[in-house]
Chain A
Amino acid sequence: MRRNQGCNPLEHVMARRQFLGGAAAGAIGMGVLGHHAQAVQLKRQEKRILQVFLQGGVSQLESWDPKPGTVHGGPFQAIPTSVPGIHISELLPNIAQRMHNLSIVRSINIKSNDHEQGRQFMEKGRRVGDFPYVGAVASKYLTPADSQLPGYVHVSTRGITDVAGGAAFLGARHGQLKLEGVKPPGNLAPPEGVDALADAGRDQLRLQFNQRFVERRSKALTEAYDASYQQAAKLMSRKEMFEGRASKQDLDRYGTHDFGRYCLLARNLLENGAACVKVTHHGYDSHAENFNFHLEQLGEFDKPFCMLLDDLKARGMLESTLVVIYSEFGRTPKVNVRYGRDHWGTAWSVALGGCGIQPGAVIGKTNDTGTAVADREVDAGHLFHTYLQAVGLDSTADHDMPGRSIPIGDPSAESIKELLV
C-alpha cells in the first residue's frame, strides 16, 4: 500500500486534536463588507469559482456514488435528495436537500492512484507539464480590473506546496495567495515602529523616486512593479477581512470549527472580487477506518458547505459562481483489512453546480460494484474544459503569451457539453 504524505494515520489523529483544541477562539463582529459594496459587486455580475478540495481523496461510495448492499458498499445508506431519482450517501443530509443546485459526474477515470499526480491533473487538466491551475486561469481572465484582492486565494491549514502557486507561465500575479486558515497572509502588518503616517510617507517617497526614473523609460515593467505595491497596500488596508471575524448568527449557522470559519472567509473573499477561492478540507486519506473517518469528516463538511451555498444563492451570486467539490481521486471499491479504502483514480466522482452548470444532473455511471466506469468516461482534462466553459471562458482558445500561444485546455480533451447550460 502506498504511504504518501498525509496518509499517516497518526497525522489524522493529530489533526483531529488540533481541531478540537483550536475551536475555542470565537469572535463577534459584523462582516467587513458594507451593503453598498455588495450592491456594486452584484451589479457587475462577474463570474468566479469556488473550489472545495477534499484533500486525500474522498470516497465516492460514502458521498456521490453510494452502492449500499453491495459487497464493498460499506455500512452507510443512500438517501433520496431534492432531485427525484438522485440518491447520495446519508453522510451528506444537508447537501441532499440542496441537490437541485448541484450536479454529479460519476464517471471519472484519471488512470492514476498517486496523490501528487492526481492533484496536478485535477488542477491543470493535464497529466504533465508546467500548466497553470484552474484558479490561476480564473485569476488571469476573470479578475475585475479594480479588484481589491489577488485573483486566486487558497485557504488551507497544512502546507502542500504548489510550485509557483499554480501560476506556471501566467506569472506570480496569478499564483495563489495562500492563507493558513483564518489568518492574514504573511507580512501584512507594517513593521514595528512604522506607523500608518510613516508608512504613507515612505511610500510617497518611493513614488517620487519612481517618477523620475520612468521618464523616458519603458513603462510596462515599472507599472507592473508599482501595481504589486498598490495591491499590497489594498491587502494591508483590509487586514481584518482575513481575520475571520464573524457574526454570532453566521457562526451559529456555519459552526465554530476550522472548516466552518474557512467557508465564512471564502464567502467574504468571493464577495470582495476574488476570481477563484479554493478551500481545502484535509484528511480524507482513509487507508484505515474509512467509515469512521468519513462519518466524521463529511459530518464536518456537509453543513458549513451548505450554508455557504445558501448564502451565495441568497446574495444572487450562485448563478455567477461555479462551485466545485473535488479531490485528487476517489477510494477503492474494496475494503481492506483495516477497514480502510485505498487510492482509486479509476472510477470516481466530483460534484459541481452554480454558474453555467445544468443543475440536478448526473453524468455517467459506474458499474454495480463501482469497480469501473460503465458510461461516459471522462478525466480531469474534460473537467478542466467544463469548469472554464461554465464561467464563460473559451477553454479551446490559446493563452496568448509573448512569442508563443499555448492551448488553455488540453486539445485532446473537451468539455462535458451536456452538463453546461
Chain B
Amino acid sequence: MTPVDSWKAHSSKLQRSLNTLCCATVISLSAASSWGAESPLHQRIDVAIGAGLTEFENLAADDAGDAAFARRLYLDLAGTIPSAEQARQFLADGSPDKRAKLIDQLLGSPHHARRMQYAFDTMLMERRPDKHIKADQWRNFLRQSFAEGKPWDELVAEMLTADGSDEQSRPAAKFLLDRELKTDAMTRDLGRIFLGRDLQCAQCHDHPNIDDYLQRHYHGLAAFLNRSYLFTDPESKQASIGEKADGTVKFTSVFTSESDETAPRVLELPPIEDPPLADEPYTVKPDKKVRSVPVYSRRLQLALAMTDSSNVAFRRNIVNRLWAMMMGRGIVEPVDMSHSGNPPSHPALLDLLAEEFHEHNYDVRYLLRELALTKTYQRSSLYKVGAENLADDRFAVALLKPLTPEQLAWSMMQATSLTDATLDDLKTQYLLADAENDPAQIEDLLWQEEALHDSLKSHVDTFVGFFGVAGIQTSQFDASANQALFLRNGAELQNWLEPSGQRLTAHLATLDGPQLVDEFYFSVFSRPPNAEEVQQVTMFLEEYKENRDAAIEQLVWAALSSAEFRFNH
C-alpha cells in the first residue's frame, strides 16, 4: 500500500474518494439534494457579504456587464483574455444562463488546469529556484491533479507523504524535498501555506505581538518532520527523504527561559504521541548508503493530521486563498496572517465557505464555480458615486487584480494574435510531419493547449523573470522601472507588434474606420468601444497617417501598456 492509499484508508474518506471519481455530475446532484431546502452557496455568499452594512445594495457597484464579466472570468479561470471572437460570441449569445455556461465551459477546459498549475505552483513553491525535483515534472503533477478534479486534501496528502523514492509519486515530493527538510523553511511554510499562519516569530518565543501564535504551535509542526532528513543516494545522487525512528523536539523561550517538549501537533489539536518504540524500530536501518525508514513515521502522521476534519484551519486557509484569487483580497488578509488581532472581514462567510468546502469533499472546482456565480464576483469595478470611501474589505465593488506574469504573457500573446497564429502553424506542421497523423487530433483542445504551451513557454518564462517575485507572495501590487522598460523597449512585445502574417497589427492594417476600431477594442480590451473611444483612435490614426503601419503599432502598444490591460477589472 502506498502512503497515499494508507492516507485514504486512515482518513475514512473512501466514500469521498468514490464521489470524486465522478465528480462533475455528482456535485450538482448532491448540491441539489443535500441542500434542497437551502439556497445555493453563491446566493448565501451574497447575503453574507451584504449583511451588516445598511444600504449595501444601494452602495454596491452595479453588475459588470457581459463583456467585463467574460474578460474577468477568462483571466481568472483560463489564465488569459478571450480572443476577439470569443468575446463577441459571448456578447451575441442570448441565452439567460450564458454566464453559468461559460463558467462551466472554462472550468472544464485544459486552460483551467494550466491556470491552476500556475497559481498553485506560485502558492506552494513561491517561485524559488529548482533544487531536487524538476519544475516541469512538478507542474505536470499539479496540472494533472487539477485536470482530474483531485480534492485539495488528497493533493496535499500526496505532497506530504511522497518521499521521493518512488518515480510515480516523486514529483509530489517537491514541496518537502526542495525545502531540503530544513526545519525553518519547512515549518514556516507548513504554517503559512496550509494553515494561514506565519509562525516564524514564534520559533524562539511566543509571538511578541500576536497573542495566539505560540511557540508550541511552531514546534508542534516542526515535530512532524524533525526525524526526517534529506538523503542523497551515493550512486544515483538522487535526493529523497529518510527518517529516523527517534528524536524529540524541545524548545526554550528566549524571553521566559521556560522549556517544553512537544509531540507532533497541529496548533491546539491534541498532540500525537508516538507508539511505544518497537524492538526493531526500522524497516530499513540507518546507514550511509541507504535511506532509513522507521516502522512508525512521524512524517506520515502529518498528512493525516493536516487534512483531518478536526483541523478547521486547513480548510479555512484554502477557501480564503481561493477567495483572494477570485476577489482580489482575502477575507483574512494577508492570507497567511490569520490571528485574533487580524480577524476575517466576514467571519460568518469564512465559516460558511470552509464548511461547504468540507461538505463538498474539498472540491476546488465546486468552490470556484460558486464564487464565480456570486453577484459579488460579477460586480463592476467602477464604484458608485458616493461609495468611493468604502473599504476594499467590504467587497462592494470588484477590486483590481494585477495580472500574474503568466496571465500577462498569455494575454499579450492573445491580444497580438501570436497565440492564434502559432496554433495555426502548429496544426499545419503536425499534419505535414506525417501523413498518418490523425487530422482529428488538431481539433482536440488538450492537444492544442499543450502544443501551444510548449511552443510559447519561453515567452511566459521571460515575463515571469520580469514580473515574478521569488519568495513570500503578497497581494500587494508593485511595479518597477525595469518592468516598464521591458514593456516599452523589450524585444518580445516589439516583435509581436510587427505587422506580419496573421498578427493583429497586420490584420488591423487591412481595416478602416469604425471597423478597425471595433476589431482593435475587441482584440485588446474584449469589448466594443464607445463613441468617444472611436473618435479618439480615429484621430490618432489620422494624425499619424503618413505612416499608418507604425501608427497602428503604437496604438496597440499603448493599449497593451494601459492600466485597463494590466489589471483584471
Contacting residues of chain B (185-228) with chain A, CB-CB under 8 angstroms:
185, 198, 200, 204, 209
**Interchain CA distance A224-B480 in the complex, whole Å:** 9
Among A172, A203, A210, the residue within 8 A (CB) of B480 is: A172
6 contacts between A and B (CB under 8 A): A128-B184, A201-B540, A210-B563, A217-B400, A231-B480, A402-B333
**Interchain CA distance A410-B480 in the complex, whole Å:** 27
**Interchain CA distance A218-B566 in the complex, whole Å:** 14
**Interchain CA distance A236-B128 in the complex, whole Å:** 31
Smallest CB gap from A131: residue in B? B471
**Interchain CA distance A271-B143 in the complex, whole Å:** 51
- The answer to whether B563 and A228 have CB atoms under 8 Å apart is no
- The answer to whether B474 and A187 have CB atoms under 8 Å apart is no
Known: A172-B478, A402-B476. A205 touches B554 (CB 8 A): yes
Contacts of B479 in A (CB 8 A): 172-173, 224-225, 227-228
- The answer to whether A221 and B254 have CB atoms under 8 Å apart is no
**Interchain CA distance A161-B555 in the complex, whole Å:** 36
Known: A224-B477, A225-B566, A412-B254. A205 touches B470 (CB 8 A): no
- Residue among B200, B476, B479 having the largest count of chain A Cβ atoms under 10 Å: B479
Smallest CB gap from A406: residue in B? B201
Which of A189-197, A256-264, A337-345, A348-356 contacts its partner?
A189-197
- The answer to whether A228 and B480 have CB atoms under 8 Å apart is yes
- The answer to whether A169 and B472 have CB atoms under 8 Å apart is yes
Contacts of B486 in A (CB 8 A): 186-187
Q: How far is the CB of A131 from chain B (nearest CB, A)?
A: 10
Contacts of B185 in A (CB 8 A): 128
- Residue among A177, A201, A225 having the largest count of chain B Cβ atoms under 10 Å: A225
Which of B262-270, B378-386, B412-420 contacts its partner?
B378-386
Q: How far is the CB of A288 from chain B (nearest CB, A)?
A: 27
**Interchain CA distance A229-B544 in the complex, whole Å:** 23
- The answer to whether B562 and A209 have CB atoms under 8 Å apart is yes
Contacts of B536 in A (CB 8 A): 208
Main SS of the interface on chain A?
helix
- The answer to whether A210 and B209 have CB atoms under 8 Å apart is no
Known: A209-B563, A403-B333. A186 touches B381 (CB 8 A): no
Known: A172-B480, A175-B480, A217-B569. A186 touches B485 (CB 8 A): yes
- Per-residue interface assignment for chain B, residues 139 to 159, with 1 indicating a CB less than 8 Å from any chain A CB and 0 otherwise: 000000000000000000000
Smallest CB gap from A215: residue in B? B382
- Per-residue interface assignment for chain A, residues 216 to 256, with 1 indicating a CB less than 8 Å from any chain B CB and 0 otherwise: 11101110111111011011100000000000000000000
- The answer to whether B483 and A168 have CB atoms under 8 Å apart is no
**Interchain CA distance A232-B481 in the complex, whole Å:** 5
- B347 interfacial contact with A, CB 8 Å: no
- A171 interfacial contact with B, CB 8 Å: yes
Smallest CB gap from B333: residue in A? A403
Contacts of A23 in B (CB 8 A): none
Contacting residues of chain B (442-483) with chain A, CB-CB under 8 angstroms:
469-472, 474, 476-483
- A404 interfacial contact with B, CB 8 Å: yes
Q: How far is the CB of A212 from chain B (nearest CB, A)?
A: 8
Contacts of A218 in B (CB 8 A): 383, 392, 399-400
- The answer to whether B566 and A217 have CB atoms under 8 Å apart is no
- B490 interfacial contact with A, CB 8 Å: yes
- List chain A positions with a Cβ less than 8 A from chain B: 128-130, 150, 161, 163-164, 168-169, 171-173, 175, 177, 185-194, 198-199, 201-203, 205-206, 208-210, 212-218, 220-222, 224-229, 231-232, 234-236, 401-405, 412
Contacts of B400 in A (CB 8 A): 217-218, 221-222
**Interchain CA distance A139-B491 in the complex, whole Å:** 29
- The answer to whether B490 and A201 have CB atoms under 8 Å apart is no
- The answer to whether B481 and A231 have CB atoms under 8 Å apart is yes
A-B interface, 8 closest residue pairs, ranked by CB to CB distance from nearest: A171-B478, A228-B479, A232-B484, A209-B562, A202-B554, A231-B481, A205-B558, A172-B480
- The answer to whether B337 and A404 have CB atoms under 8 Å apart is yes
- Residue among B204, B469, B482, B555 having the largest count of chain A Cβ atoms under 10 Å: B482
- B441 interfacial contact with A, CB 8 Å: no
**Interchain CA distance A95-B268 in the complex, whole Å:** 59
- B108 interfacial contact with A, CB 8 Å: no
Q: How far is the CB of A338 from chain B (nearest CB, A)?
A: 28
Beyond contacts A199-B488, A236-B485: 7 other A-B pairs, Cβ-Cβ < 8 A, are A172-B479, A177-B481, A209-B562, A213-B562, A222-B563, A229-B488, A402-B334
Contacts of A226 in B (CB 8 A): 563
Contacts of B128 in A (CB 8 A): 163
Contacts of B38 in A (CB 8 A): none
Smallest CB gap from B387: residue in A? A216
Contacts of A231 in B (CB 8 A): 480-481, 484
Smallest CB gap from A210: residue in B? B563
Contacts of B483 in A (CB 8 A): 172, 228
**Interchain CA distance A128-B204 in the complex, whole Å:** 14
- The answer to whether A169 and B474 have CB atoms under 8 Å apart is yes
**Interchain CA distance A236-B481 in the complex, whole Å:** 10
**Interchain CA distance A188-B471 in the complex, whole Å:** 27
- Residue among A206, A215, A220, A226 having the largest count of chain B Cβ atoms under 10 Å: A206
**Interchain CA distance A221-B483 in the complex, whole Å:** 15
Q: How far is the CB of A201 from chain B (nearest CB, A)?
A: 6
- The answer to whether B485 and A185 have CB atoms under 8 Å apart is yes
Smallest CB gap from B334: residue in A? A403
- The answer to whether B562 and A188 have CB atoms under 8 Å apart is no
- B512 interfacial contact with A, CB 8 Å: no
Q: How far is the CB of A129 from chain B (nearest CB, A)?
A: 7
Known: A222-B563, A232-B481. A168 touches B490 (CB 8 A): no
Contacts of B482 in A (CB 8 A): 150, 172, 175, 177, 185-187
- The answer to whether B471 and A168 have CB atoms under 8 Å apart is yes
Contacts of B488 in A (CB 8 A): 187, 190, 199, 229, 232, 236
**Interchain CA distance A226-B400 in the complex, whole Å:** 15
Contacts of B484 in A (CB 8 A): 228-229, 231-232
- The answer to whether B558 and A193 have CB atoms under 8 Å apart is no
Smallest CB gap from B537: residue in A? A205
- Per-residue interface assignment for chain B, residues 366 to 381, with 1 indicating a CB less than 8 Å from any chain A CB and 0 otherwise: 0000000000000001
- Per-residue interface assignment for chain B, residues 400 to 415, with 1 indicating a CB less than 8 Å from any chain A CB and 0 otherwise: 1010000000000000
- The answer to whether A216 and B382 have CB atoms under 8 Å apart is yes
- Per-residue interface assignment for chain B, residues 473 to 509, with 1 indicating a CB less than 8 Å from any chain A CB and 0 otherwise: 0101111111111101111001000000000000000
- The answer to whether B489 and A188 have CB atoms under 8 Å apart is yes
- The answer to whether B554 and A198 have CB atoms under 8 Å apart is yes
Smallest CB gap from A205: residue in B? B558
Contacting residues of chain B (338-362) with chain A, CB-CB under 8 angstroms:
342
Smallest CB gap from B565: residue in A? A209
Smallest CB gap from A191: residue in B? B494
**Interchain CA distance A208-B535 in the complex, whole Å:** 12
- B557 interfacial contact with A, CB 8 Å: yes
**Interchain CA distance A231-B554 in the complex, whole Å:** 20
- B567 interfacial contact with A, CB 8 Å: yes
**Interchain CA distance A221-B185 in the complex, whole Å:** 31
- The answer to whether B385 and A172 have CB atoms under 8 Å apart is no
- The answer to whether A217 and B334 have CB atoms under 8 Å apart is no
Contacts of A206 in B (CB 8 A): 557-558, 561-562
Contacts of B550 in A (CB 8 A): 193-194, 198
- The answer to whether B381 and A168 have CB atoms under 8 Å apart is no
- The answer to whether B478 and A403 have CB atoms under 8 Å apart is no
**Interchain CA distance A202-B472 in the complex, whole Å:** 36
**Interchain CA distance A138-B550 in the complex, whole Å:** 42
- The answer to whether B566 and A201 have CB atoms under 8 Å apart is no
Known: A187-B489, A232-B485. A405 touches B209 (CB 8 A): yes
**Interchain CA distance A357-B485 in the complex, whole Å:** 37
Smallest CB gap from A203: residue in B? B558
Known: A164-B471, A216-B385, A403-B342. A188 touches B485 (CB 8 A): yes
Q: How far is the CB of B458 from chain A (nearest CB, A)?
A: 17
- The answer to whether A217 and B562 have CB atoms under 8 Å apart is no
- B130 interfacial contact with A, CB 8 Å: no
**Interchain CA distance A215-B381 in the complex, whole Å:** 11
Known: A168-B471, A201-B554, A222-B567. A173 touches B480 (CB 8 A): yes
- The answer to whether A171 and B476 have CB atoms under 8 Å apart is yes
